Amino acid sequence: MSNVSFHELAKMTSEEKDDLFKRSEGDISSFIEKVKPILEAVRTEGDAAVARFGRDFDKADVSEKTLMATPEEFDGAFKLVDEETIEAIKFGIGNIRTFHEEQKPEAMWLKEIRPGAFAGDRFTPIQSVALYVPRGKGSFPSVTMMTAVPAVVAGVPNLSIVTPPAPDGTVDAATLVAARLAGVETVYKVGGAQAVAAVAYGTETIQPALKIVGPGSPWVVAAKRLLSGVIDTGLPAGPSEVVIFADDTINGGLAALDLLIEAEHGPDSSAYLVTHSRRVAEEALSALPGHWAEMTPQRVEFSKAVLTGRTGGIVLTSSVEESYAFVNGYAPEHLEIMSEDPFSHLGHITEAAEVLLGKHTPVSIANFGLGPNAVLPTSRWARTFGPLSVTDFVKRSSIGYVTASAYPEFADQAHKLALYEGFSSHALAVSPRRELFLKKDD
């Protein structure tokens, strides 16, 4: 397996080490220029452009009249999806709902800051949100589950899903099943940059939204970047990435098994096994051919492209401390800490969007329904963003209430600072002049 990228940090230059942190979507400038005319066409032509791009890009049989999934299509989806898959979707949705119900903030809280003066927060749902569910390299009812459930828990009144159509013009049946079971009945057959534009501007069929969430291709990422002044584009979620951190208590073959999970998403994914144990690294290399032999050809092709390319492989460090430093520097979307004692490592790692502990918590389980959200920031954005959550679907308003008894003290202090900063109207509003009008009201 000499063609699998093997990076021994002790033998690498600083520039070579920095290159390991680069993702496939790091430079999307070429997509930016390609996306601009798509966005403008959707803005000016509406449904006609959306349907045309569906035919051109997705090779899908769609028209202006078939951009929305019908109730009959929803009903038919439950007949097309086998009972075992429906049961798995229900299982995942139940766990995801339980987790996000616990995450939901209380509607309002107030604290008495000083006697008679109260301050707090109020949380209200965003009025409209679009959920992007990709389809290019597969179908993803799990993304529907992860985006729709917290949105429904948050109480968003106007929810829609945008997802690329199949060549026959249909929506993936399992996605429709997951949407209905999660509580979303509006699904539009549109993907890519045109989907972002459609929900940003609105069309004759597609209702505009205030926000869009969900992972997507570089086309989607580019469209979000260009339309960030029109629609809230949420956390930056691009192509999949994972770091498997393994210490010397782990069998390298097991680590290699989990290394392939996110690598199979596509050649634009990123996947590293990071270990300070040469034994673990060599066992992983030896095990990969056997793992690939059990996978479908297309997924083997994708994962080999990642692990033999510039965004994946095995990283051998000289110490566990160097492994910690690499993980924190990489700030992965998914992180597995594979160890007999994973909690001993957890405190040393701060930069990861999702941390999965031990030998029995592979990314597969987290992706399909452990509970925490699997829509996660990529491209090192885990340093400032967290996973998609209920709070992504609500907005926070500050609440303040000062009683008559508390007013004089606050007014006096505010008056002093207003004068210092040179704001005469601020000062006037808390001057004795206010008392004249307060007395009139009384």
Active site residues: 333-334
Q: Provide φ and ψ at 349, rounded to 5°.
A: -120, 120
**Cβ contacts of 48 within 8 Å, gap of 6 or more:** 64
On whether the CB atoms of residues 375 and 291 are closer than 8 A, the answer is no
> Would you give the DSSP letter of residue 315?
E
Q: Provide φ and ψ at 214, rounded to 5°.
A: 125, 150
On whether the CB atoms of residues 278 and 317 are closer than 8 A, the answer is no
Looking at 104-211, list the stretches that DSSP marks H as alpha helix, in order from N- to C-terminal side: 141-154, 173-182, 192-201
CA distances to 119, 399, 404 from 414, rounded to whole Å, are: 16, 18, 15
Q: Provide φ and ψ at 67, rounded to 5°.
A: -80, -15
Asked whether the CA dihedral 426, 427, 430, 436 is positive or negative, the reply is: negative
Q: How many other CB atoms sit within 10 Å of the CB of residue 117?
A: 17
Report the alpha-carbon distance of residue 32 to residue 221 in Å, rounded. 9
Report the alpha-carbon distance of residue 147 to residue 104 in Å, rounded. 15
Q: How many other CB atoms sit within 10 Å of the CB of residue 3?
A: 9
Amino acid at 30: S
Q: How many Å is the Cα radius of gyration of the chain? A: 26
Strands 108-114 and 117-125 come out as antiparallel
On whether the CB atoms of residues 95 and 371 are closer than 8 A, the answer is yes
Report the alpha-carbon distance of residue 36 to residue 219 in Å, rounded. 10
Q: Provide φ and ψ at 58, rounded to 5°.
A: -95, -5
Report the alpha-carbon distance of residue 316 to residue 337 in Å, rounded. 15
Separation of CA 396 from chain center: 20
